[in-house]
Amino acid sequence: MGRLERPLAPDAGPVTAFARELRRLRTAAGSPGYRDMATRAMFSASVLSDAAAGYRLPTLQVALAFAEACGGDRATWERRWHEAARADGDDAGARPAVKAVQQHQENELRAADVRAVLPPPSQLPMEAHPLVGRRELLQRARALTAPSYGEQRPAAPLVISGQVGVGKTAFALRLAHELAVNLPDGQLYANLDPAADGRKDAAGIAGGFLEALGIPTDRIPNDPGQRIGLYRSLLNRRRLLVVLDGVQHERQIRELLIAAPESRIIITSRSRLLGLDGIGRIRLPALDRDESMELLAQLLGSDRVGTEPRACLRLADACGDLPLALNLAGRRIAARPEWMLQDSVSELLGDGPGDPGGRAGQRAPGRFLARLQIGDDALSNRLDSAYRLLTPWARLMLRQFAGSDNPPSVDNVVYESADALAMLVERSAQPVEDLLERLLDAGLLDHSDLPGQYGLTPMARAYALTQPDPTEEDPASATAPAGARGQAHVRQPG
């Protein structure tokens, strides 16, 4: 039972009459305490108490929240509020400018009240290491996520794409932690990668976010459309940060996107998600060689890297300057500080005795890749998840690309044009280019600086060469994990 309330003012004006109706509703609901009502209404107890005090007419949203917390009908109470507002000469509907200001103030009040009742969600994962490089791209990302106040245009969602292992999540988290400072209503994070049990649709994601925002389970709509609508409404009213990590395709998140006035949405995906309109995009390339050396110095120590720079250059070359490959290799080497760096690199790369300078092309293609594993994190697992989604024709195209006679460039990447690859598979250029674009959106290729040319990193190339020839693949194994197939049918380039 709630405490006894102060008597209402003696006048019989519309404000007093409305407050009396609110009190009667609360009494009919069993006189719940205002603190109990606050958890359902998402306004603080003091705001709800003031609504029924009779000193002034509460805002429409406060009145509706009060009524719904006591089991009242929303449409009925919205009509009663407008009647009271007209009688009191305070109907904001007749004054659009004032209504807009009141709506903004109400949103601020509601967000503050929610923070007082429930702690804001703080779901962002930690940053394992400071981000290396990417300074210009970070500056661009900050600009894309900044609102355009002069044009009164809210910031659009931002998609960060790139190939497997290029550091999309690390980049997104660095940006997210910066933005979170000015978004006090909380941070929401969802890992949508199937390898992380992230097979969720938009309604499932919205439901999880609503629970994190403190919405009681019985107030989360069962209808998917209404649930997503409630999530978008909250995003529009509050200052929230949302990170959707590892998105597989556009329909997984399309309904969750909104250009909210003060909230921000960051998306990572191997795909460019070209089916999404009205969003910002950044594509991450591999690191340059100086940035790779900086990352290794962070993992191994600057003194160790400075003493044996040639060994680190060989390692960066073998990794194709891919951040995940460098990270896994660096952590594996750091676990054995008693070894000479040159010996550690040679052992990891699979160079034979007396061959500390062996080139990647002289090694078994999957040997180094298989060693890039620390605990439950392995580059091959990421490549597996991308390969499983490919059609047989796309797999054949990837293998033909990997077996190309073109020598690697100075950055150890194999480049090939769509026309040249079309000749290899004896097909016309247009369908081949479509397949290459699919491989790019799977995170296994990247564009070069030349039009119509694509690049295959040493890690993706090594992986492709350990997979069975798609033309000889058993149909029953087509749905098996690619890593399992590769272990059973390892084929050397011929």
Residue 38: CB atoms within 10 Å: 23
Q: What is the pLDDT along the chain (494 residues), one digit of tens a residue?
A: 445 566 776 666 888 889 889 999 998 988 888 888 887 777 778 888 888 888 888 888 888 889 988 988 888 898 899 888 888 775 444 344 344 444 444 544 454 554 445 678 999 999 877 889 899 999 999 999 987 655 567 889 999 999 999 999 999 999 999 999 989 889 999 999 876 665 588 999 999 999 998 888 888 888 999 999 999 988 888 889 999 999 999 999 999 998 888 899 999 999 999 999 999 999 999 999 999 999 999 999 999 999 999 999 999 999 999 999 999 999 999 999 999 999 999 999 987 544 445 444 455 668 899 999 998 899 999 999 999 999 998 998 999 898 887 777 777 788 888 888 888 777 776 788 899 999 999 999 998 888 888 999 999 999 999 998 777 765 444 444 444 444 333 333 23
Q: Distance of alpha carbon 100 from its chain centroid, rounded?
A: 32
Backbone angles phi, psi at 453, to 5 degrees: -115, 145
Instruction: Please report where in the chains the tokens 């680190």 appear, as a residue.
Output: 312
Return d(Cα 370, Cα 332) in angstroms, integer. Answer: 13
- 312/299 Cα distance (integer angstroms): 11
d(CA 15, CA 37): 21
User: Are 481 and 470 contacting, i.e. CB atoms less than 8 angstroms apart?
Assistant: no
The token pair at 57 is 């007419």
DSSP letter for each residue of 93-124: GG-HHHHHHHHHHHHHHHHHHHHHHSPPPB-P
Give residue 373's identity as a one-letter amino acid code.
Answer: Q
Q: Beta strand 158-161 with 377-378: parallel, antiparallel or unpaired?
A: unpaired
